[in-house]
Amino acid sequence: MMTRCVVDPMTRIEGHLRFVTHIENQVVIDAQCSADMFRGIEKALIGYDARVAQQVTQRICGVCPYGHAEAAALALEHAMNLRPNANGQRLRNLIVGSYHLQDYLLHFYALCALDFIDITAVLHYQGQDAGLLTVRDWVKQEMASAKVFPAAPFLPRYEAAYCHDPTLNLSAIRHYLEALPIMATLHRMVALFGAKAPHPVTIEAGGVTTIPSLDSIIQFRTWLIPVAAFIRGAFRDDVTAVAQAFRPYFAEGRGAGHLLSYPFFPDATGANHAFAGGATLNGQYQPLDINKITEDSVRSYYSDQPDRHVKPLSSRHLTPIDWAQFNHERAQPNGKYSWARAPRYGGAVMEVGPVARIVNTYHAGINPAVTSLVNQYNQALGLTLADYPSVMGRHLARLFNALLILDRLEQDLEALVPDQLGFIEQPVPRNAQGVGLTEATRGALAHWIATDDQGYIQNYELIVPTTWNISPRDASNQPGAVEQMLIGTRIQNSAAPIELTRIVRSTDPCIACSVH
pLDDT tens, residue order, the chain (516 aa): 789 998 888 888 888 888 999 999 999 999 999 998 888 888 889 999 999 999 999 988 888 889 999 999 999 999 999 999 999 999 999 999 999 999 999 999 999 999 999 988 998 899 999 999 998 999 889 888 888 888 888 888 888 899 999 999 999 999 999 999 999 999 999 999 999 999 999 999 999 999 999 999 999 999 999 999 999 999 999 999 999 999 999 999 999 899 999 999 999 999 899 999 999 999 999 999 999 999 999 999 999 999 999 999 998 888 999 999 999 999 998 999 999 999 999 999 999 999 999 999 999 999 999 999 999 999 999 999 999 999 999 999 999 999 999 999 999 999 999 999 999 999 999 999 999 999 999 999 999 999 999 999 999 999 999 999 999 999 999 999 999 999 999 999 998 999 999 999 999 998 778 777
What does pTM read for this prediction? 0.96
pLDDT value, residue 109: 96
What local confidence, expressed as pLDDT, does residue 100 receive?
97
Annotated binding site for Mg(2+): 42, 462, 516
Give the residue ranges of the annotated binding site for Ni(2+). Answer: 61, 64, 510
Please report the pLDDT score of residue 130 as a whole number: 93
Nearest residue to 31 via CA among 485, 511, 497? 485
159 vs 330: CA distance, rounded Å: 31
Beta strands in 121-272 (DSSP E): 203-204, 207-208, 259-261, 264-266
Structure-derived torsion over alpha carbons of residues 121, 127, 128, 133, reported in degrees to the nearest 10:
30
CB neighbours of 460 closer than 8 A, spacing ≥ 6? Answer: 42, 43, 45, 46, 53, 447, 448, 449, 450
State the Cα–Cα distance between residues 132 and 474, nearest whole angstrom.
Answer: 48
Nearest one of 343, 352, 370, 400 to 255, comparing CA atoms: 352
pLDDT at 307: 92
Q: How far apart are CA 151 and CA 355, in angstroms?
A: 33
Longest dimension (CA), the chain: 71
**pLDDT at residue 81, as a whole number:** 97
The Cα-based distances of 74 to 9, 31, 71 in angstroms read 35, 36, 5
Query: What pLDDT, in 10s, does the model give residues 45-54?
Result: 999 999 999 9
pLDDT at 448: 98
Give binding residues for Fe cation as ranges: 64, 513
pLDDT tens, position by position, 436-490 = 999 999 999 999 999 999 999 999 999 999 999 999 999 999 999 999 999 999 9
Residues in binding site:
42, 61, 64, 462, 510, 513, 516
pLDDT digits (tens, 9 = 90+) for 119-165: 889 988 999 999 999 989 998 898 888 888 888 888 888 888 999 99
Q: What's the angle, vertex CA 488, arms to CA 482 and CA 490, rounded to 5? A: 110
